[in-house]
Structure 1
Amino acid sequence: MKLLVSALEPSSNLHLKEILKHSQDLELIGIFDKTIEEGTPLYDISEMAIMGVVDALKKLRWFFQVADEMVVLAKDADKILLMDSSGFNLPLAKKLKTAYPDKEIIYYILPQIWASRPKRAKKLEQYCDKLLGILPFEVDFYQSKAQYIGHPLLDEIKVSHSSETDTIAFMPGSRKSEINRLLPIFKEVRKKLSDKKAILIIPSSFSEEKITNLYGDISMFEISKDTHTTLAQSEFAFICSGTATLEAALIGTPFTLSYIAKKVDFFIGTKLLGIKQVGLANIILTNYNNTTLHNEILQEDVTVDNLLKEYYNTDRKIFADKAKELREYLGHGSSENIAKIIMDTSC
């Protein structure tokens, strides 16, 4: 079977690799990580990376061109799998369904319509044949076609938190702008916690040259590229907003979320789109039982003093109980379920 894939995010490609473990005779075409052996991508995900509204606008014309190339490529595909990245994949779904009304389009890792722009649900149902959610509550925002199929991190996380440790983990993000804003503050926090072992977690795909260019002097940290193991062996973590916060939550490692966005992006998100939470674990628990797991330190509040307060004042017992609730609510993994849906030829 030939599958057209549009997976722009590093996290989406990790989930894609898990799906492929449960699939046979599957050839990939489209946009995905070039390290995936089941195909040769039209574009590698490194070429698709953007950060914020301003960056997206600069590359808008090029993204239109890429979408048109994907439509041409889809001619030879048996099915289509769109993953996350709704800014690109939703318009692409419309183009694909218009060009190939009989090809099955599967959307996995649905757009966060529960956070903003709920009208997109109708478009997704119009242009896609199967809508596969990774959060139990999100399927309620759709009239039909949507189903909860589990969360991929429950397939990928094989470790749990050990409380007998004096290690602090730092995750300042993977994008240059995130690192530039957070790492200087994290370095100062590390100095204040000089009696602790400090580990800087870096994306496994980063080369030594890229690490040097992005991070500068990080001699005060030990370095790790194994996110899950390091988080499991850490007493506490300071994490930039993103998938890593949910990973830490499911592992059970206490943490605080820190994020400094461009002012224009923060204004659009909070004032125009009405986003009230940025941490996935908090969003999930709020929808489940109206509780939260961790504090969110944002914008000007991201200071050394505030982060130290988080470290000293976070109640580890309450965190552990809420993290267990979160894991039980999500229930099970999704990768095998997705693979079955993709390989089903009865459709």
Structure 2
Amino acid sequence: MNPFARGKKKPRTAIPAPETPPAAPSGPEAASPGPEAASPGVDAASRTLTGEEKADAMPLREHLLELRTRLIRCVISVFAAFAGLFSCAPFIRGIMEKTLKAALPPTGSITFTDITEPFMVDMHLAFVLGFFVASPYIFYQIWAFIAPGLYASERKYVVPVALCSALFFIAGGAFCYIVVIPFTYSFFIGYGGGEATPLITLANMYRYSLKLMLAFGIMFEMPLFSFFLAKLRIVTATRLRAWRKYAILANFIIAALITPPDVLSQLLLAGPLLLLYELSILVAATFGPKPAAPDKTDKADKADPQPAA
């Protein structure tokens, strides 16, 4: 073995060439970023509101300002109707007094015990009747304030519902004046007419009459409440039928709270309330969600059960 002989050289390893990045695409492909660049985790479109949503998304301060504006409009409408009716309040009072005089015995009369009583009665009468006259505009302002919180398909009902609300309110007051008040006058005056001479004051007569008219007007709104609760899928006709026995009890409790403290007035209010509750069931069945039809496959499985293995 030659000690001076050179050993074999180790083979040299090739140094890898540095990787060059791919060339950027040219043309229309370069202008459109990929999905990773366009939406880093969350799509940008999902973080922005559309124009309609921006219009509907009102902060609390703007809601309160709008509520104040609509309340001011309602108050102005009531006072405008009050100003127009106060000038003819004595004429209206004379018409309403005929209803009471028809129930009075020949010895009975209508009196007043305070020098300002006729004037205050006329103001009270003009104010309450002004509320009835302005009720279409008032109910429109109420439903227009609620409208931004409704779906677009439900906003088309705002004007019809506002009109129906006013009609039901006026119908309740008219029903009370035409049917309930003459009946209650005749009943109570006839009940004690043989023992004492009735001397009824103006304030007592109008306080009783106007309170009843307002109570009937408010309670005649029940089908409208049922309509909106059914559209919002809060109540259904099936639930209203199941709650009928509780509604009967609630109607008599409400009638006892908002009518004068006599059984006859409570019965005269609770009776129409029960009819309005049945009408509310019909409204909920017409405009509310329909019950889902059972699946045909389920019917077939129930009709032809598979034999056990």
User: Which TM-score band applies after superposition, normalised by the shorter structure?
Assistant: under 0.3
Normalised TM-score (structure 1)? 0.18
Normalised TM-score (structure 2)? 0.20
- Judging by fraction of residues, say which structure has more strand: 1
Structure showing greater Rg: 2
